[in-house]
A and B are shown apart, each in its own frame.
Chain A
Amino acid sequence: MSNRPDPAERVDSKDRTFGDYQIRPFQPGDEASLLEAFNLVFAEGNPDYVPRTMAEWRWAFQENPAGTRIMVAVKDGQVVAQNACLPVRVWVGGEERIFGQGVDSFCHPAHRAGLRRPGLWVKTVWEFIDEYGGRDKDLLHYGWPIWSAWRIGKTFLKYEVVRTQNLMVRPLATNPRTDAELDAHLAELEVERFDIGAGCDHAGFDEQARWLWDRLAGDWGASAIRDAAFLNWRLTAHPRHRYTVLATRKDGILWSYAIYRHGDWTEKDMGLCVDWLAPAPAHADADHAERLHAGLIALAESNHGGRATTLTGIFPDPSPEFTRFQERGWRVMPSEYFMIGHHYHRRYDMLWLRKHWWYTLIDTDLV
């Protein structure tokens, strides 16, 4: 890593020790210590913080079908720093590769002081990069960092900005419907609805999700593979959130879907378009997208899951959906977010990713 300082600052390459700390990949048995430190750090200054449970932690890091990416710094048996990613299988350049979304990074406050920059967390990330990043390993590590993490990341970790992230927002009329009325309206649109996630018993997606993604993914240079394994982990098995799926079918086969959730994100009580997989306007079956969109608006206006005055989502600005959704009444708004990445193959630099990488809110851990 060219950003690393002189060798005296480096972690010992043989046993990954740095002073009294051992920096190494997560090992079974670290869970309790890791979670304890995590909840302590993230509760700092946040009276509304809801501690993460062990079930939630296992869902995020051990049950992800794409694997586990955690590097920890341990002192006296206690995890005191972590760098972690949620890996996702991505189709890019004609092959399946891994992108990793950086999440939940922390350094225990008692272990921040007394260390010259770069601190323990940066050293943990360096080991993470060596372990998981590379032309033949994870192609990209990405995230939407808070400002302080970005400042450290650009200085020491080769973070670069893919794009400053705009949100797409659509105002919603008040048109509350009962579930029966909503379903009747959706039936007219030939859109089906089912709820998945926390507290739901719906089985979720089947192999048809991959068929749908296969039909549409040719439009994009890179996108997370939306198959049953990914969607059922990300949504159906989510331990905290409930999602509503809207879908259209053609001859009984899944032909488009949208994922909706009511929740808090940049504001309280938002309608969130978590994911959208539907034929783009240029496709022969674009009417599926139009019916799906009408269903999504009806769902959000029906206060399903809670009252929302706006519907918010994201699409990459070069995508046809970015244009089409504006024609459907969505407006492009600024946000404090910016997508950053550390790429490990020259071909897939930030300029390429900005132009070719398809992602939506489901590719983040924010909703």
Chain B
Amino acid sequence: MHSRHSLFSSTLSSVPPYTIREYQPGDEEAILETFNRVFSGVDPNFVPRTLEEWRWTYTDNPSGWRISLAVTDDGQVISQYAGIAQRMLLDGEPAHFSQAVDSMTDPAFRGGLKRPGFFVLTGYPYAEGYGGPPPDKDTVMWGLPVPPAWRIGNLYLKYELIRTHLKLIADPDALELPGLGQHGVDIEELTEFPEDAEELFLEHAARHGAMAVRDKQQLDWRYTQRPGYDYHIAAARRRGRLVGLTIQRAGSFDGAPGSLVCDWICGKPTDAIAPFDRGAALEMLAWHKHRAIAGGAGPLTALFPDTAPEWIGFQEVGFRARDTSYFLVGRNYVKQYDMRWLRRHWYYTLGDTDLA
């Protein structure tokens, strides 16, 4: 991923010579300088990102990083196309997906929609360099774009819609959770993830065609090591065996404050009817309920694919579906994993996104 341009087009005649290339150590501060300038210009509530946060997002992620840059000869970052990598289990085999985030172009160098601008110029080598078959390339790239990014991504970068997204919300007081304390499940709060998280993840993943890896290393990175965010972690154990993990934090989703069900991993069913360990699920929801009430943050909000059993299960205990402004889009690099397949088989939660 390395190409040299002296001029992009006559309309961008003021562009200095630049190179489109992958991130290199040492680019961090230039990336951040442009990032903070670009996003503070469009969001009055924007809080500048720190170097520590940037490193956590990209170089500290155990699944790797994905960054394509347009950089001037003097080191200024004109544009970035970036993604958060995810190690995946895809049809039971190791694979990678990535979530497109933080894409930006310095407003001084933006091209219009009709002529591919830097967003697209950095996006092409990103797709070419990182997209491809498993296990090492990203089989699927995905995102929750704002409308302008969606229009460009759809037109130039082959992104397609996977799902228009609904959320599940509940007044914690209104949740109906039968048989609490009678399921043989103990709930404990944790400050870091247990080693047997991976075993639980494998149980959960076996019910889905695609799921991002949730082992101790990945979960600790996502929830206990993230700078500036406080997550509460609960583990469900049945006779000492880990049968559920869930995470909550107070925060906003789609502009609505509340208590976010950030992650949800539940073990295999204990009977032939339930699609997951129902007792563990009820006890974990009770933990969410009590923590949400105690925290006073507002309604519980969860995000699941509507094809996941959790989508129905959460409605059965009092969650209700509401529309959101989000829509999930993707681009697949292996034919069989098209948007319809992803809609049917990919399990994800709020914690898969950068929104919680």
**Residues of A at under 8 Å CB distance from B?**
147, 154, 160-164, 166, 317-318, 322-323, 326-327, 331-334, 351, 354
A161-B161, A166-B306 in contact; A332/B315 too (CB < 8 A)? yes
Which residue on chain B has the smallest CB distance to residue A167?
A: B306
At the interface, is chain A mostly helix, strand, loop or mixed? mixed
Is residue B36 within 8 Å, beta carbon to beta carbon, of the partner chain?
Answer: no
A165 to B321, CA, bound (A): 13
**B235 CB, nearest partner CB in chain A, Å:** 29
- 12 A-B pairs, CB-CB below 8 angstroms? A154-B160, A162-B164, A164-B306, A317-B164, A323-B320, A331-B312, A332-B166, A332-B306, A332-B315, A333-B312, A334-B305, A334-B307
A161 to B343, CA, bound (A): 14
Q: Is the CB of A166 within 8 A of B321?
A: yes
Residues on B with C-beta less than 8 A from A147 are 340
Total B residues in contact with A, Cβ cutoff 8 Å: 21
Q: Is the CB of B160 within 8 A of A317?
A: no
Q: Is the CB of B164 within 8 A of A334?
A: no
Is residue B43 within 8 Å, beta carbon to beta carbon, of the partner chain?
Answer: no
Residues on A with C-beta less than 8 A from B161 are 160-161, 164
Is residue B2 within 8 Å, beta carbon to beta carbon, of the partner chain?
Answer: no
Q: Which 9 A-B pairs have the closest CB atoms?
A: A317-B323, A332-B321, A334-B306, A163-B164, A161-B161, A164-B163, A326-B320, A318-B323, A334-B307
Residues on A with C-beta less than 8 A from B166 are 166, 317, 332
Q: Of B163, B306, B322, which contacts A323 at CB under 8 A?
A: B322
| B148-164 interface bits toward A, Cβ cutoff 8 Å, 1 = contact, 0 = none | 00000010000011111
Q: Of A164, A322, A351, which contacts B323 at CB under 8 A?
A: A322
**B319 CB, nearest partner CB in chain A, Å:** 10
A166 to B323, CA, bound (A): 11
Residues on A with C-beta less than 8 A from B75 are none
Q: Is the CB of B340 within 8 A of A326?
A: no
Is residue B178 within 8 Å, beta carbon to beta carbon, of the partner chain?
Answer: no
Q: Is the CB of B164 within 8 A of A161?
A: yes
Which residue on chain B has the smallest CB distance to residue A147?
A: B340
Is residue B65 within 8 Å, beta carbon to beta carbon, of the partner chain?
Answer: no
Residues on A with C-beta less than 8 A from B340 are 147
Query: Which residues of chain B in 295-328 are interfacial with respect to chain A, using CB atoms and an 8 Å cutoff?
Result: 305-307, 311-312, 315-316, 320-323
Most buried by B among A147, A323, A326, A332: A332
Query: Which residues of chain B in 67-91 are interfacial with respect to chain A, using CB atoms and an 8 Å cutoff?
Result: none
A316 to B94, CA, bound (A): 38
A160 to B329, CA, bound (A): 12
Q: Is the CB of A334 within 8 A of B311?
A: yes
**A29 CB, nearest partner CB in chain B, Å:** 40
